[in-house]
Amino acid sequence: MKTFAELGLADSLLRAVNAQGYTNPTPIQAEVIPEMIAGHDVIGIAQTGTGKTASFVLPILQALASQRLGPQKFSGPGPKAFTTLILAPTRELAQQISESIRTYGKFMRPSVALVVGGASPVPQIKALSAGLDIVVATPGRLLDHMRAGKARLDKTTTIVLDEADQMLDLGFMPAIQEIMRKISPNRQTLLLSATMPKPIRALAQEFMRTPKEIAVAAVSKPAEKIHQEVIMVEQALKSDLLVDLLAAREVERAIVFTRTKRGTDKVERMLNQAGLHTVGIHGDKSQGQRNRALAQFKDGSRKILVATDVAARGLDVSDVSHVVNFDMPTIAESYVHRIGRTGRAGRSGIAISLCDKSERGLLRDIERLTHTALEPAKELPEHAGRTGRFTLIALPADFVRKEEKQARSHPRPGGGGSNAGRRKPSGFKPAGKKPGARKFSSDKRTGNSSQRQQAR
pLDDT of residue 216: 79
Give a three-class secondary structure readout of the chain.
CCCHHHHCCCHHHHHHHHHCCCCCCCHHHHHHHHHHHCCCCEEEECCCCCCHHHHHHHHHHHHHHHHCCCCECCCCCCCCEEEEEEECCCHHHHHHHHHHHHHHCCCCCCCEEEECCCCCHHHHHHHHHHCEEEEEECHHHHHHHHHCCCCCCCCCCEEEECCHHHHHHCCCHHHHHHHHHHCCCCCEEEEEECCCCHHHHHHHHHHCCCCEEEECCCCCCCCCCEEEEEEECCHHHHHHHHHHHHHHCCCCCEEEECCCHHHHHHHHHHHHHCCCCEEEECCCCCHHHHHHHHHHHHHCCCCEEEECHHHCCCCCCCCCCEEEECCCCCCHHHHHHHHCCCCCCCCCEEEEEEECHHHHHHHHHHHHHHCCCCCCCCCCCCCCCCCCCCCCCCCCHHHHHHHHHHHHHCCCHHHCCCCCCCCCCCCCCCHHHCCCCCCCCCCCCCCCCCCCCCCC
pLDDT of residue 12: 93
- Model pTM score: 0.61
All residue ranges of the chain with pLDDT < 50 are 68-76, 218-219, 375, 377-456
Instruction: Kindly state which CATH superfamily the domain 226-433 is placed in.
Output: P-loop containing nucleotide triphosphate hydrolases (3.40.50.300)
pLDDT of residue 314: 61
The residues of the chain that CATH labels 3.40.50.300 are: 4-215, 226-433
pLDDT of residue 49: 63
Tell me which architecture the domain covering 4-215 has in CATH: 3-Layer(aba) Sandwich (3.40)
pLDDT of residue 182: 93
